[in-house]
Structure 1
Amino acid sequence: MNTTNLKFEIVPRTLQFRFDAGTSRGVLRSRNIWWIKAYDLNNPDQIGWGEAAPLVKLSPDDRPDFEVLLKEILEKCDGVAWPSEEKEILSLIKEIVPSELPSIRFALEMAVLDWVQGGKKRFFENSFFDEKKAIPINGLIWMGEREFMFSQIKEKLDSGFSCIKMKIGAIDFEQELELLSYIRSQFSAEEIILRVDANGAFAPNEALEKLKRLSELEIHSIEQPIKAGQWEEMASLCKKTPLPIALDEELIGCQDKVGLLDMIQPQHIILKPTLVGGFDESRIWIEKAESRSIGWWMTSALESNIGLNAIAQLTSQFEPMIPQGLGTGKLYHNNLESPLEIQSGKLVYGNHAWETPS
């Protein structure tokens, strides 16, 4: 088996949002990411790129010493003889990077697989990159003042999206219902799919009543209606709910995949590779979910275009038919220029050149 010794470098960047991005956990205006550069001293022009992007207040590895930990792990990797086969690479990375550092795992998976594949920002065989096959995505509506949310809805509908996802739980629930009612009054459930994401904002004792009111608007699904970690309450909700529930934050840091899925029995799960540990862990979640007839879709976690590209390629391996949550590439003033484009509610790998991270 051929092996290669790679060197690694860190290229940090602070991404600046184009607007105040409101969630039930607060408003985001910027976020820090760390690009990972992998190369061989004997072939320095071939470079693999990865991205470590822990999400503030959500990622298990959102911690003040993150960059120190990242440097320590990459120093360990300097002496590693990297195999050329994907399965062996992913297995080795799991040995090197503990599960409580999921974004570092994902970054290393990206960088090494990209390098092995020739440094073209292609990680494995997939129709998104290889065949330029578009991926359907939802249009994301951020929390904010009623007028701001209304303008986002109009912009998404005018842009040709057939699936709208609205974050709820930060403003008055009646106002949120009013906005959703407006969309539904203009478009039937066959014309526009409506998803909502509560980010755990509902109290367990009020959640079911709110789900009933949302179901009257023919909502496709609701993500994480109550805070993660309340398995019994969530299991009860999933059993009684009038509209499908998708677990999101519930998956983060969970080592007992089978236990969680079997106890809660959700209708769907949401996969964020940066938060659950990368390519390999995401595939395991999918296998466990599909074997239980639980639906799933993939969502980015506000990564730059480097991370978004990796998530899109992973998603496309499963030939998704329903819209995915991959519409975050236009969020930042200073994102990396890339071939990723949004066309009529779909993510496309176009013909633009990649900007070199710096």
Structure 2
Amino acid sequence: MTAILKGITFKYFPHHLKFRFEAGTSRGVLTEKTTYFVLALEQNNSEIKGWGEAAPLPSLSIDDVPDFEEQLAKFCTKLSGQDLPVHENELLDWVSAMIPAKFPSIRFAFETALLDLKYGGVKKIFDNAFYDKGSPIPINGLIWMGDKDFMLEQIDKKLSEGYDCIKMKIGAIDFDQECALLGYIRSRYTAKEIVLRVDANGAFNSDSAAEKLNILSSFDLHSIEQPIKQGQVKEMANLCESTPLPIALDEELIGVDGIEAKRELLIAIKPQFIILKPTLLGGIRSSREWIELAESMGISWWMTSALEANIGLNAISQFTSTYSVTMPQGLGTGQLYYNNIDSPLSIRNGQIYYEKTNPWGEIPGFEVKEK
């Protein structure tokens, strides 16, 4: 193994993100969250900086723990000073060996910081058409939970912005009102004109889920994400077997580590889709395992961000672009925050672009601490 990254030093910088609005899910409302930018520097070459992002999602990430920052600091100290290999897979293997699976967002941050460093610290994570050629990735327009008027306002805005795939979070307001909103979209656009997805975030009771799926299927939906809470493998398998509406596993994948455990879960449930959130699933190496298994079983997938700032979103978008994707991905969350990092990422007509003419902004706290 030839080491080309010499004496790597890791540092981190917390950043308090603030939402532009109250972002509602079935698990509660988010108005702010803390993310952590991880810096990788090579000995005697501090001008080149590799950046990653650890962004545990409150109440969902398995590493959303009270001492998260303390644990991140320990990894930065413990793993600094080593020489690391040049090969991408060896870098990813090293991160998986050094950082336990119970810290998935930290794994992802270290993976992407090292890959960015490998490519010269220019925010490039892979050879991919999104970064290299400016090729866009189709994305869905996300409708957050709230009262009916707020959700209707979002729907009209997304449709006017040119999205042809809309994803609506459901499970927080009255089910009949949510159906009325879906009916409003379908009264204006057919399934060929606008693809509709819904995300229940596990909000349905297992006893009534089948009935609700039957009702929802009347709106010509593309799919429903996680209709019941994760951990109910038998109940979810029964739903997937008899559903009139394709089911996508999301939270169900969180905390499942190792390729055999992943294979067993997919064999047991047999979902129509899986949704990949690298921050929640242990990063790039782990997500690749899910993709390989799913494709071998005829299960389709798409990638989704997990409320990261633009450092993490950029890495996920580039990772997505290493695959031949045509289905809209869940990568439209970069506009959620009014204090996000300025970046070349932009959204037009339901697609995300990497526009190199737009510069990256500074990492908050980095310049201050370096002086």
TM-score (norm 1): 0.99
Shift of 1:2: 3.0
Q: Secondary structure at the match of 1:121?
A: coil
Shift of 1:43: 1.0
Q: Partner residue of 1:266?
A: 271
- Give distance in 2, aligned partners of 1:317 and 1:69: 31
Q: Partner residue of 2:166?
A: 164
Q: Decide which of 34, 37, 41 is 1:35's aligned counterpart.
A: 37
Shift of 1:5: 1.3
Q: Partner residue of 2:362?
A: 356
| Superimposed CA distance per residue, residues 285-307 of structure 1 (whole angstroms, 9 cap, x where no aligned partner) | 00000000001000000000000
Q: Decide which of 46, 62, 79 is 2:64's aligned counterpart.
A: 62
Shift of 1:153: 0.2
| Superimposed CA distance per residue, residues 267-301 of structure 1 (whole angstroms, 9 cap, x where no aligned partner) | 00000000001111111100000000001000000
- Give distance in 1, aligned partners of 2:19 and 2:86: 38
- Give distance in 1, aligned partners of 2:82 and 2:281: 24
Shift of 1:193: 0.1
Query: Superposition RMSD on alpha carbons, in Å?
Result: 0.6
Shift of 1:329: 0.5
Verify: 1:333 aligned to 2:347, yes or no.
no
- Give distance in 2, aligned partners of 1:39 and 1:130: 23
8 Å Cα contact 2:3/2:83 also seen in 1? no
Q: Partner residue of 2:328?
A: 323
Q: Decide which of 4, 13, 16 is 1:14's aligned counterpart.
A: 16
Aligned partner letter, 1:160: G
Q: Partner residue of 1:193?
A: 195
Q: Partner residue of 2:124?
A: 122
| Superimposed CA distance per residue, residues 211-237 of structure 1 (whole angstroms, 9 cap, x where no aligned partner) | 000000000000000000000000000
8 Å Cα contact 2:145/2:169 also seen in 1? yes
Q: Secondary structure at the match of 1:296?
A: strand
Q: Decide which of 298, 308, 311 is 2:316's aligned counterpart.
A: 311
Q: Secondary structure at the match of 2:216?
A: helix
Identity across matched positions, percent: 56
Q: Secondary structure at the match of 2:19?
A: strand
- Give distance in 1, aligned partners of 2:3 and 2:251: 39
Q: Partner residue of 1:106?
A: 108
- Give distance in 2, aligned partners of 1:287 and 1:129: 23
- Give distance in 2, aligned partners of 1:118 and 1:267: 39
Q: Partner residue of 2:297?
A: 292
8 Å Cα contact 2:310/2:343 also seen in 1? yes
Q: Secondary structure at the match of 2:334?
A: coil
Between stretches 80-89 and 145-154, larger displacement belongs to: 80-89
- Give distance in 2, aligned partners of 1:117 and 1:137: 26
- Give distance in 2, aligned partners of 1:43 and 1:259: 45
Q: Partner residue of 1:278?
A: 283
Q: Decide which of 23, 26, 41 is 1:24's aligned counterpart.
A: 26
Alignment of 1:219-230 (within 5 A): 219-230=221-232
Shift of 1:323: 0.2
- Give distance in 2, aligned partners of 1:307 and 1:344: 22
TM-score (norm 2): 0.96
- Give distance in 1, aligned partners of 2:216 and 2:132: 40
- Give distance in 2, aligned partners of 1:42 and 1:123: 22
Q: Partner residue of 1:205?
A: 207
- Give distance in 2, aligned partners of 1:6 and 1:357: 19
Aligned partner letter, 1:83: P
- Give distance in 1, aligned partners of 2:3 and 2:94: 15
Aligned partner letter, 1:2: A
Moved over 2 A (4+): none
- Give distance in 1, aligned partners of 2:37 and 2:309: 9
- Give distance in 2, aligned partners of 1:43 and 1:355: 21
Q: Partner residue of 2:251?
A: 249
Q: Partner residue of 1:47?
A: 49
| Superimposed CA distance per residue, residues 27-77 of structure 1 (whole angstroms, 9 cap, x where no aligned partner) | 000001000011123111100000000000000100000011001111111
| Superimposed CA distance per residue, residues 142-192 of structure 1 (whole angstroms, 9 cap, x where no aligned partner) | 000111000000000000000000000000000000000000110000000
Aligned partner letter, 1:289: A
Q: Partner residue of 1:215?
A: 217
Aligned partner letter, 1:31: K
Aligned residues: 358
Aligned partner letter, 2:297: R
Verify: 1:2 aligned to 2:3, yes or no.
yes
Aligned partner letter, 2:266: L
Q: Secondary structure at the match of 1:165?
A: strand
8 Å Cα contact 2:250/2:274 also seen in 1? yes
- Give distance in 2, aligned partners of 1:332 and 1:297: 23
- Give distance in 2, aligned partners of 1:316 and 1:112: 19
Q: Secondary structure at the match of 2:156?
A: helix
Q: Partner residue of 2:368?
A: none
Shift of 1:356: 1.6
